[in-house]
Amino acid sequence: MQNQRLRRAVWAAVWSFVTASLAGTAEAALHRTDAHMASDTASMAVENSAAMQNLTSDDEPLSTPPPVLTNAQILQEDRDAVNLMNEVALKPRILPGGIKQFTLTASRFGWNFYRNVNLWAWGYNGQIPGPLIRVRVGDRVEIVVHNDLPEPTTVHWHGLAVPNDMDGVPGFPEPAIQPGGTFVYRFTVTSQMIGTHWYHSHYDDDYQVDAGLNGVIIVDPKTPPPSMRRVRDVLFVLGAGKQDGSDNENTFLINGKAYPNTPQLTVKRGTVVYMRIVNACAETFHAMTLDGYDVKVVAEDGQPQPDPQKVSVVSIAPSETVDVEFTANQTGTFPFYDTVASSLINPNDAVDPVGGMMTLIHVVP
């Protein structure tokens, strides 16, 4: 019954969105200020490159057929989405001296977004979003980035005060990683970095981020606070893509999947849930709500809030991260979704267009 009410409400919101779209007021979008530093310079090079160098997961030439994926590949993608929700992190190689070395390979591959909709994507280590990186204060870190894409790229560590030459802004001072090239990012994790952050391309980033070149980096204190040992710590990454040559984001995801393929969370009644929400969309604001619950905002962009407030809707801009907490004291199934209707549509879904940025949280006895 609850799901039926939600579906009716979603359909009503979608219809309102469609009529509003005709008037040109469909959705709010924000281009990050830091995006333009790299994008303005990068776009000149991209315009002069070959046509194949300017493709994203959703901007393939008409002559390029969609990727064909096996059931095993799609099941692995679904497992990746669940593992990301459960914060299963990329395992580092431990170098002499205790340095933690992670490897990211940027490449083009096929990805199943929902049902039978497969698109070409650009991502790290063959998944969208890229793998979770988790480190502690005091760690010395090396992140080796290989570029197997047809155009340059970089990795920017959003929210981390790393040395200037490790910041991933092309030309300030290090050049972008050329196709076939490799760059090693090195930094020491400091207390300033504690919290939920993300990493992403900073070369033509409006284009590359939505193609899939993004991921999450969580920095823990040396000793986790006792309160965190008693909670269920989960991660939801809000993402987007552009199907059918759209100039605007029109495909919306959680952990790389659109509903009904999004990862669903099950917890026991009484569990304290610590939910990290990352807006990895290049353009779009989101307003997330959890039916049946208010949530307490405990951190924004990794910074603890001195006076946490309970809210019914979490507003989150592009590039922002918000950590919220709630106690699952009601049993049942509770939708977690964006209240912006345009984010609840699956383009080209012949079965049911309602989907997008939504998942379910099940609270069991």
Strands 133-136 and 214-220: parallel
Dihedral angle at the C-alpha atoms of 25, 12, 244, 254, nearest 10 degrees?
100
Mean pLDDT, to the nearest integer, of 87-102? 98
Share of the chain above pLDDT 70, in %: 83
For residue 232, the model assigns a pLDDT of: 97
Q: Name the average pLDDT for the chain.
A: 86
pLDDT tens, position by position, 291-340: 999 999 999 999 999 999 999 999 999 999 999 999 999 999 999 999 99
Share of the chain above pLDDT 90, in %: 77
Strands 265-268 and 358-364: parallel
Q: How far is CA 365 from the centre of its chain?
A: 31
What burial letters (b/e) apply to 50-85, b meaning 16+ CB within 10 Å?
eeebebbbbbbeeeeeebebeeebbeebbebbebbb
pLDDT tens, position by position, 247-261: 999 999 999 999 999
For residue 30, the model assigns a pLDDT of: 29
Closest C-alpha to 203, from 59, 52, 35, 48: 35
pLDDT tens, position by position, 145-155: 999 999 999 99
Helix-, strand-, coil-residue percentages of the chain, each rounded to 5: 20, 40, 40
The C-alpha atoms of residue 167 and residue 159 are separated, in whole angstroms, by: 10
What burial letters (b/e) apply to 319-329, b meaning 16+ CB within 10 Å?
bbbbbbbbebe
pLDDT tens, position by position, 227-283: 777 899 999 999 999 998 899 999 999 999 999 999 999 999 999 999 999 999 999
For residue 228, the model assigns a pLDDT of: 75
Mean pLDDT, to the nearest integer, of 55-82? 79
- Adjacency order of strands within the sheet including 303-311: 251-254, 231-241, 272-279, 321-327, 295-300, 303-311
